[in-house]
Amino acid sequence: MSKFDIKDFKGVIPAVLTVFDKNEEIDEKGMRELISYLIDKGVDGLYLTGSTGEGFTMSSEERKRVVEIVMDENKGRVPVVVHVGAIGTKLSIDLAKHAEEVGADGISSVPPFYWKFNENQIVKYYTEIANSCNLPMIVYNVPLVGLLGMNAIKRLAAIENVKGIKYTALSHYEITQIKDEVGEDFLVYSGADEMAVSGLLAGADGIIGSFYNIMPELFINIKKAVDAKDMDEATRLQKQAVEIIMHCLKLPSFYAGMKSILRWRGINAGYCRSPFENLSEAEEVEFRNSLKKLKETYNISGVDFLDEI
């Protein structure tokens, strides 16, 4: 049984990496280490088995196992939302029911993908999943599968159990528009790490992102600065975040880069699963040295992993 109301799912929420060992098997010990590290750093919730969690490289049973490990390690400390998106609605429903069984606080899903589905089919997909269990659902607007228009968002918001949207876009006037046209109680989460400040200023209830795995303290401080209306500080911190993110995105796989950074710090974040590439030893050395240079060039401070390099 879930512990939190979906309205508690606010603030700084990492889209959690999934920890695999070198043989690409789920590493339970590492998964537990990562979860406790993030919670101890002060994150406000956890978003599981999405794109950052390499969810689409796993079987349904593996995704369920990750959720079970996290729920056991979390022990009700923060709200947990499970991404249940899959290539077929039946698979998503199975994952949604499992999330409810193990006590998750909500579910989420990307729209149906690969084939080009029309608006009616997308609404049907979300309706069937939302009706399959009693958990509140967060729908997902992301460029990779095609952004939804305001008409589609309104239709989705009218579905019982749909309580919010994860909005990953590089323009944020839509967040204000959603709040105006759907209602203030409809939760909106900004999903672009590079634009956390913009999303919060536009009225987002929370920020969900990949890079919160490696520098949660930076985004927690961004939110504190926005809440305190200290825009000079919020802007300064966001610029630092952007420099780090853009640097990591130069890698063949920024997931591999994040996992390397966490391993350097003694947090067993494991390795990526194929077809994502891991960094070779030589590439890790080069990446580490480049991060040292980045820190010096932009005078970045207060980011734990850079302070420790």
Active site residues: 140, 166
How far is Cα 54 from Cα 112, in angstroms, rounded to an integer? 17
Strands across the sheet with 187-190, in order? 11-14, 206-209, 187-190, 162-167, 137-141, 106-108, 80-83, 46-48
Name the DSSP letter for residue 81. Answer: E
Total residues found in the chain within this entry: 309
Alpha helices in the chain (DSSP H): 28-41, 60-74, 89-101, 119-130, 150-157, 173-181, 196-201, 216-227, 231-248, 254-264, 281-297, 304-308
Hey, which residues does 139 pair with through a beta bridge?
Answer: 165
Do the Cβ atoms of 102 and 72 come closer than 8 Å? Answer: no
The residue to which tokens 């990446």 are assigned = 287
How far is Cα 83 from Cα 108, in angstroms, rounded to an integer? 5
Radius of gyration (C-alpha) of the chain in whole angstroms: 19
Interstrand relation of 11-14 and 206-209 (parallel, antiparallel or unpaired): parallel
CB neighbour list of residue 3: distance below 8 Å, 6 or more residues apart: 76, 79, 103, 105
Type of residue at 239: K
Quick count: other Cβ atoms within 10 Å of Cβ 280? Answer: 9
